[in-house]
Structure formats: C-alpha cells, structure tokens
C-alpha cells in the first residue's frame, strides 16, 4: 500500500518506518525542512532504539517531504500523527489536527478516487466524529463513508521500545465509520497475529485514554500500597510479585517508586480529567491517581529531611533526570519537582544522567552537572530518581541514599531509605 504519514514525531516516524519495513511505500510529511532532510539521509530526528537501522535498510521505500500535496495525491492512506499539546487547563489543543485535516481535505477535493484518512494522534473521545469528520467533509466536498474513508487507530507504543511494540502488538484497535475503511486497515495490519478490535470512532479514542489512565492508576495504586507498606517495613516489590501472579491483575506496571512521568501518562490523565469536567463528570479515581503521583516525588524529599533536617547549604546528589531509563526525554520527569523543591530549600545540587543532562541543563542551568555518576556520590546525600543500568555498578557503601526507584545495590549504603518499601 502507499502510505502518507503526517507528523514525524516518535509516533509518526516509528509508524512510517515500520510500515516501510513491512513492505509498504511510505512518505512522511513534516513542515520542518531540517527533519525532512535528516529522514531522507536515514538519520532519525529523534532517538528511538532501532529506528536508524530501519530507515537506512528501507531507504527505497521511505522518504520524507514538506509537500503534503504530492505525498497525499500519490498514496492510498493518510495517517495523521501530529501533536495534540496540552493547554493550561489540561485539555488538548487541536490546532495542528485542524490545520492538517483542512489541508488534507483540500487536497482530497482534487482526488478522483477513494482515500482513507486515519487519525493516530491521541484525541479525546468524540474528536474524530464531531470535529475531524465535519471538517473533512466541509473542505473536501466529499461524503465520509462513501467518497472518503475515516478511521481512528490509536497507538500503544512505549518510548524506547516503540519499534518492538509496533511490530509485536498486543492488539490493534480500528475505530471506523464504514466497512471499506475497516477492510483497508485490516489489510494493512494483516501480518500481525494479535486480536484486531473494530469499534466506532469514539470507542477507539476512549480505549487509548482508558488504557493509559488505567496504567497510570495502577502505578499510583501500587505507590499508595507502598506508602502503607513502608510503615511496617513490608517489601512492596514482594507484594507486587504476589499480586502480579494473579492473572486478573498481572505484574506489569506495579513497580512502586516516585511515580510516572513522560509525555503521555501525565498529559492523558490531565486531558481525561479536563474532558470529564467539561461533561460535568467527577472522575474521582483518575483524580486520585494524579494526586498520588503529584505527591510521590515530594515523599522522597520528606524522607531526605528526616535524615538531614536542615538542607540549606548541603549538597544533594541526584542520579537520573530522564522520565525513565534509556531515553533522553525529561518531559514531566519526576526529577523536576524534586529539583524544584531542593532549590527552594537552598541546597546545592549535583546531578548526573547518561542521556538527559543537555535537556535538563536548558531548564535548570544552575545545577552542577557531573561527567560521571561516581562524582555525584561525594554529595551529603544521594537521591535516585531514574533506574539506569549503570547506577547498579556504583559503590554506595558509606553513603546516605534515598531511593525513588528501588535500586537493589543501593541497599549497601550506610543509610538507605526506599520511598515506599
Ligand atoms: C506510555 C504507555 O506505556 C504506552 O502504552 C503508550 O502508547 C504511551 O504512553 C503513549 O501514550 O504514547 P511511555 O510514556 O513511553 O508509554 O512510558 P512507560 O514505559 O509507560 O512509563 C511511563 C512512566 O511510568 C515512567 O515515568 C515510568 O518510570 C513509570 N512507571 C512505569 C512506574 O513508575 N512504574 C511502573 O511499574 C511502570
């Protein structure tokens, strides 16, 4: 199939690259000429494990352009993968979706054959049906369902393992208005053996939000249990193992610590809450999951103060700044509220992260960034905020460590406290 992917963020580019790997002809569209040039040179503008190899190995089947028209006119399916940034109130901003749909529809007006438009961007329930569909019909002059196809196909990719997640999915969700759109997407995904669930447009959108919010809630739940376990010195990880053996529960996403960060969970939780509010609903469970997550990193600080009541003038080390290991992404990283609180206390901060220091430096130039993890160990106390593999190699003997991610080796420290175990 000939596929256009609009937006070359990590979802768009991984989707495009994986479809090319599967033998399809892919054109990635982005307004950023620099990104376009890089992709055409086989260099991914974002870091994602394995992406460069796929781009290079499938150069004959994937190209990038800033020209929407040529891409769409020569393809059968267009995936919309543009960003939906958060507004101040947590709701999502549909500006890029709107621009892209109008642009696509205007091009489709000239097309004298059927074409399928697929929304892959994360949008709150009702957006494709009530916002995208009318725009598409209005600007293309075509009827959705007969002249043009429309589908909603959420992604479930984790940063860092997005390629294996794409190529080995648990499920594929197709929200669709008509059988031709469904059949086209089923054809595209026919190489996968996982279940394919066909729903209407809004249910597909809700599956994405419900999945992310559920996983975020699962993390906050185990953190709450962990906070209780701490009172009796119960090992929360053993509790998680015990719970996880129940197939109805499952062990995944039960690692307790300082909470979830990243570009997805916090944003999607906020968007669901804003959307619930708009619908005059009180989403209490999700609200609580967010409240637990906001407090969890501050617990690390409270524990630190138990050991060093007067933080002013002290040097505190932070190991890990990325929102999770194996990425340079610091969006909503739990290290951010920790750093903010430490700065307020008047501490000097020594920090180290194998990948995320350049990004963090832009936000907090006043920290001392160390060139090795060992350098951080000379601080008055060390906080572990991200579980990077290399932190397992350090010698923590004689140190004070307050652990936010449960690093087994750090238990050798002279003083060791886990945030919720
Ligand atoms: C998340 C989802 O896992 C993907 O399925 C989804 O497609 C993606 O969001 C998205 O919506 O695009 P991602 O944000 O890349 O993926 O990261 P995760 O690996 O899920 O981790 C999120 C946060 O939860 C991290 O800060 C991590 O440290 C934390 N976490 C995760 C825990 O605190 N405990 C756990 O047991 C698991």
Judged against a pLDDT cut of 90, whether residue 189 lies above it is answered with yes
Question: According to the model, what pLDDT value does residue 318 have?
Answer: 98
Question: According to the model, what pLDDT value does residue 325 have?
Answer: 96
* Closest atom of ligand 1 relative to the 253 alpha carbon: 36
Alpha helices, DSSP H only, in 158-309? 162-167, 179-188, 201-232, 236-244, 265-278, 284-307
Query: What residue owns the CA closest to ligand 1's atom 16?
Result: 158
Question: According to the model, what pLDDT value does residue 120 have?
Answer: 98
Yes or no: say if 257 and 222 are a contact pair by the CB < 8 Å rule: no
Question: According to the model, what pLDDT value does residue 74 have?
Answer: 97
Ligand 1 mean position, distance from CA 157 (Å): 9
d(CA 132, CA 82): 13
Yes or no: say if 156 and 210 are a contact pair by the CB < 8 Å rule: no
Question: According to the model, what pLDDT value does residue 352 have?
Answer: 98
pLDDT per residue over 288-298, tens digit each? 999 999 999 99
Question: According to the model, what pLDDT value does residue 177 have?
Answer: 87
Our CA angle for 187, 190, 196, nearest 5°, is 100
pLDDT per residue over 4-50, tens digit each? 999 999 899 999 999 999 999 999 999 999 999 999 999 999 888 99
d(CA 107, CA 362): 40
Judged against a pLDDT cut of 90, whether residue 95 lies above it is answered with yes
Region of residue 58 (phi > 0: left; psi between -120 and 50: alpha; otherwise: beta) = alpha
Determine the residue of 164, 219, 220 to mutate for testing ligand 1's pocket, defined as the one with the most ligand atoms within 8 A of the Cβ atom: 219
What does the DSSP assignment read for 287-327? HHHHHHHHHHHHHHHHHHHHH-S--TT-EEEEE--SSSTT-
Ligand 1 mean position, distance from CA 306 (Å): 30
249: phi then psi, degrees, rounded to nearest 5: -100, -60
pLDDT per residue over 113-170, tens digit each? 999 999 999 999 999 999 999 999 999 999 999 999 999 999 999 999 999 999 999 9
**Dihedral angle sign, alpha carbons of residues 131, 269, 82, 163:** negative
Number of neighbours of residue 45 by Cβ within 10 angstroms: 18
């Amino acid at each position: 199939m000939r596929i256009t992917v609009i937006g070359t963020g990590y979802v768009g580019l991984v989707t495009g690259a994986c479809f090319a790997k599967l033998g399809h002809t892919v054109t990635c569209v982005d307004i950023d000429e620099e990104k376009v040039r890089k992709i055409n040179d086989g260099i991914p503008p974002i870091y994602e494990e394995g992406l460069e190899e796929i781009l290079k190995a499938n150069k004959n089947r994937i190209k990038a352009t800033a020209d929407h028209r040529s891409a769409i006119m020569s393809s059968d399916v267009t995936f919309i993968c543009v960003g939906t940034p958060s507004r101040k109130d947590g709701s999502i901003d549909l500006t890029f979706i709107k621009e892209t749909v109008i642009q696509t529809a205007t091009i489709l007006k000239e097309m004298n054959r059927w074409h399928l438009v697929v929304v892959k961007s994360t949008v709150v329930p009702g957006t494709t049906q009530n916002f995208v569909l009318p725009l598409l019909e209005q600007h293309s002059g075509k009827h959705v369902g007969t002249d043009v196809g429309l589908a909603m196909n959420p992604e479930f990719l984790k940063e860092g393992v997005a390629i294996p997640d794409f190529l080995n999915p648990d499920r594929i969700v197709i929200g669709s208005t008509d059988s031709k759109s469904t059949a086209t997407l089923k054809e595209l995904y026919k190489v996968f053996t996982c279940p394919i669930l066909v729903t209407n447009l809004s249910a597909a959108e809700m599956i994405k939000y419900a999945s992310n919010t559920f996983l975020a809630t699962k993390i906050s739940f185990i953190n709450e249990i962990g906070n209780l376990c701490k009172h009796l010195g119960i090992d929360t990880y053993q509790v998680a193992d015990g719970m996880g053996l129940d197939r109805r529960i499952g062990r995944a996403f039960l690692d307790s610590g300082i909470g979830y960060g990243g570009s997805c969970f916090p944003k999607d939780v906020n968007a669901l809450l804003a959307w619930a509010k708009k619908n005059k609903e009180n989403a209490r469970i999700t609200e609580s999951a967010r409240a637990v997550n906001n407090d969890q990193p501050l617990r690390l600080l409270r524990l630190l103060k138990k050991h060093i009541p007067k933080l002013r003038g002290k040097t505190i080390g932070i190991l890990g700044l990325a929102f999770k290991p194996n990425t340079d992404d610091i969006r909503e990283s739990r290290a951010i509220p920790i750093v903010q609180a430490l700065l307020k206390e008047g501490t000097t901060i020594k920090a180290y992260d194998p990948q995320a220091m350049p990004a963090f430096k832009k936000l907090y130039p006043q920290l001392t960034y160390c060139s090795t993890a060992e350098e951080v160990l000379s601080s008055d106390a060390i906080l572990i905020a991200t579980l990077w593999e290399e932190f397992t190699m350090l010698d923590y003997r004689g140190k004070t460590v307050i652990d936010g991610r449960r690093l087994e080796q750090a238990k050798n420290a002279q003083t060791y406290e886990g945030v919720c175990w």
